[in-house]
Structure 1
Amino acid sequence: MASHVLPFEKPVVDLVARVRELRALAENDKRFESELRRLEEKAGRLARELFADLSPWQKVQLCRHPNRPYTLDYINHLIEDFVEMHGDRRFGDDPAIVGGIGRYHGRSVVVVGHQKGRTTKEKAMRNFGQAQPEGNRKASRLYELADRFGMPILTFVDTAGAYPGIGAEERGQSEAIGACLAAMSRARVPIITTIIGEGGSGGALALGVGNRVHVLEYGTYSVISPEGCASILWKDGAKADEAAARLRITAPSFSNSRSSIAWSTSPPAVRIRTTRPLRALSTPPSAKRSRSCSRRRPTSSFAIATIASASSARSSPEAPSSASSAQNATRTRQERDNNVPHA
């Protein structure tokens, strides 16, 4: 049986366990094959019926399921030659956000995502995927790196929100999130965001400003958790199921609205949902050259005025030559030295 089973999953999980036991018996005795096929068909039918009619609250529970693939799982399956980068160059490193450089379909990309952790020790080390300010600043640093070298950005969102602790607030949590929003908005490279689980509040937005935003079928994207919403509206966190229905935070809700968020039916669809937009958003070589030219720092008005005054001085007939200016400067320096009293 699975290590973590949700209440509504239990009938399917129990039936799958029986199928596995019967499959082991059928390997030695062919008389169990017909019963095995019957149970397999029943388990498949029951799973399809169950997951075809899930409530919003059940989908919220699924998006938090500890057996779901996390960012590092997607990186291991999608990204080649991945090199993780650490630190924000200001305070430290935050394991709640992983990021680095790799190759996707032969193209260099920057990957950033939340990582929750599997074991109790890893969950505590990664702070359950809730980023500290240094984690968001690390993400911002990677965005700027990608923009500087023209590498597309792939982000994977899976967090309940940014960490709201006192230390995080003292180190500028809101400023760090704002820096991420600004860096992603300024970036001139394609950004593809995939919400692979829970997309909560500002912690999700720090990785969520993309040209394409995709949500997996059992992912959620909201400004507040259903429990928090229920506590505010009805002073009762037990009404989270009603809050989840009213918030409209599940993936199909976005496809029915006018938002630009698309939803995928399964994790394998992430590869298709990522490859096609990446090709569509790719910049032609001519545009890349013009973009690199536009990266030059613009000349300030002070510099323009200085250059103009220097040019007019050189063109004026009354302006002294450079040789006479040097002589005058030397004479002035000598006169100043002669007036200094000696001990």
Structure 2
Amino acid sequence: MRRARIVGTGFYVPPYLETNADLEAKLGEPLPESIEKKVGIRQRYLTGPDLSSADLGYEASRAAIADAGLTPADIDLVIVATDTPEYISPPTSAVIQGRLGAVNAGIFDLNASCAGFVAALDTAARMIGYGGQYNNVLVCGVYNMSKYADLTNSRVAAIFADGGGAVILQGAEGESGYLASRLYADGTQYDFLGIYGGGTKYPLTEEMIREKKHLLTFLKPLPPDRNIQMWPGLVAEAVARAGMTVAEIDHILFTQINRWVIEEVMAILQLPLNRTTCIMDRFGYTGSACIPMALHEALKAGRIRPGDRVVMVGSGVGLSVAVAVFQW
């Protein structure tokens, strides 16, 4: 059976490192204790004025292609998952494909907020499995939320960070590779949190910019236990579709928004904490990029080995959740 296997990974973070102490000095006030003790963030990397989303995605993609032992000309399709695009149009994938010199690749962007990377994995895996047209697919998650976050707000500035993560999916016969997925959404929650200025509903005006309505905006409080309530059931459904049980998961990666939430979910799933990887302590919250970044780290550290069954869970505003199951 033809399946999509992950054969290369890579990530990139910008050079500007900001620790919690640096941020406190910049803001002139202490951060809430929960940022480090509960959320788990100690530092973050930011793009500053010089780097854009395509810069992050290009560097991560270049690393993933090299890790797979391929050249840009070997890539058949470039999918970029982001809700912080280079432009409204053209797509960020066009910029990255052009910089890479991936002359044989088609392109498109996918926006499912911070569930986008896992949703893009699901999309790419199905395209590889159907028809044989696509064999090497680059899936890249990009997050440049510092360009949209109010960095004068201590709670916001402490959470959001920038980065890019990428994988190469390759078609191959055998039992390893993509096994199953579960996508979930509740579009009635579109007006909880988002970037509402700059689209067709609210085009940018000078007044909007003065009032910071073009930035990430919190309209309604997010339930603190929402992911704790959702993730275990969706994971159970996805692995059941793959013909396995939760206990058979060898490694599981979650959206890196809150270490305490991940620990609670692992307890509900009755999985030991050594079967997950957390990176928010060093990289902050990197949205669409955080799962490929964590995957790269887990692979290079030897926490994922051949034959392991790996689950990835992405969750973002909208509401959107995506779960994908792979066997290495």
Settle same-fold status: TM greater than 0.5: no
Q: Which has the higher contact order (CA 8 A, sep 6+)?
A: 2
TM-score where L is the length of structure 2: 0.28
More helix by share: 1
Instruction: Give the structure-1-normalised TM-score.
Output: 0.27
* Greater strand content: 2
Structure with greater Cα Rg: 1
